[in-house]
Structures are given as C-alpha cells and as structure tokens.
Amino acid sequence: MDNFKNLKEEAYNANIALYEQGLVIYTFGNVSAVNRSEKVFAIKPSGVPYKELTPQKMVVVDFENNIIEGNLRPSSDTKTHAYLYQHWEDIGGIAHTHALYSVAWAQSLRDIPIFGTTHADHLTQDVPCAPPMDDTLIKGDYEHNTGKQIFDCFNNRKLNYNKVEMVLVGNHGPFCWGADAQKAVFNSRVLEEIAHMAYLTLQINPKSEKLKAALIDKHYQRKHGTKKYYGQ
C-alpha cells in the first residue's frame, strides 16, 4: 500500500520541473516535499537519472533520516534537507541544484549583490553565501553539517528564512526552499537568473553599484507588500 502517494507525486513533479528548467543534468541535484503532520518528506533517490524517475521511485524518510517508504537509497543530500525541515518549520519544500551561474558564485565565495529590480522583486538584499565548512565538520557528518552550515549562516547574519528563500553554500552550490516543492524550484530558477545577471553586470562594469534603497523597497513591496499589485 502506498501511504504517501500524494507526497511522492509532489516530489516527483518538482524534480521533473527542476530538470525541465535546465537547472540540473544527469543525476545532479534534488528536490524534496514535506508532510509536516507525519514528520516525513519525499526526496529523489540517489543516482537515478531524471528521465528514469517515477513517483513510485521517490523515497520517503523521516526527520531522523530513517527510510519510511521506498526501495531505493535516498539522495546523498537527505540529511541536509532533514536538518532544515527540523529547524525551519515554515518551509514545505527544498531544492538543491548545480546550476551553472549559481555554483560559480558559490565557488567564488561571494554573495550575489542586489544590482537590479529583478533581484528586488524577490528579495531585498544580497543572496548570502555561507562560508566554507570547518574541517572538523567536513570530517564529521558532512551532509547533516551542511544543513547546520546554512542554518548558522542565517543565524549569524540575522536573516529571516521566510524572506530570503535561497542561499549559496560556499564551494558547493545553491539550496532554495519555499512553501512547497514547486516554490523551491521556482526560487531555484530565479536564483540562477539573478546569478547570471549579476555576473554579466560585473563583466560590463566591474564598478557597478548596488540598487538604491528606494528602488529595492518599491519593487519588493509592489510584489509582496500589503498593497501589492505587480503580478509578474
């Protein structure tokens, strides 16, 4: 009996969307979808090409990384997802990609500056890049500690995960989240576009200045504020 049919379908559809958006190749990346009432989430199996995925191949695990349903090995990033679900109660889906420009910024260990209004439509500050993991943590429970690395970055910078739904993990790549798995995919696509635009901006003018505060506020509020009217 398939006890988590809807959850696995949500995770499957989101993983396929990640692939169709061109954010992953081969077996790179993963998306998960959470069931908060059952304290479980469904995630892509490890090593399975996207074209071979089915809803039935999604693996359901609990927040302690125990397999609840499924015959395949869950993604190697499962512990990272579990850590974030445990500590950030409002998120409903998480996506991890190896998208080109997002990863390039992560490898450069740089935040993505807020240069333009496209960026400001989605968040009001730079996209944060978490610093590289300490050697002790690398030698420990690495994937679990990647979740801790993200969590600590937000705590140290006093960032709100409900306002900033994306992060670059230094030397690694991007993680995004949202109210559900599809929003996590959406944010992953937005992040890749922002990363690409910022890269080109600095190529054209290495001395480019950040977007001024009035424009940041205007663009964010017209899309997300109490009197929002911009639907793009």
> Known catalytic residues?
121, 230
For 205, counting Cβ atoms within 10 Å of its Cβ (0-12 exposed, 13-18 middle, 19+ buried), the class is exposed
Pairing label, strands 67-69, 30-35: unpaired
CA atoms within 13 A on the CB side of 215: 10
For 47, counting Cβ atoms within 10 Å of its Cβ (0-12 exposed, 13-18 middle, 19+ buried), the class is exposed
Nearest by Cα to 28 from 37, 38, 18, 36: 18
As a whole number of angstroms, the distance between CA 27 and CA 32 comes to: 15
As a whole number of angstroms, the distance between CA 31 and CA 176 comes to: 9
As a whole number of angstroms, the distance between CA 124 and CA 206 comes to: 22
Q: Which stretches does DSSP call E strand in the chain? A: 30-35, 40-43, 59-62, 67-69, 93-96, 129-130, 166-169, 173-178
Q: What number of other Cβ atoms are within 10 A of residue 27's Cβ?
A: 16
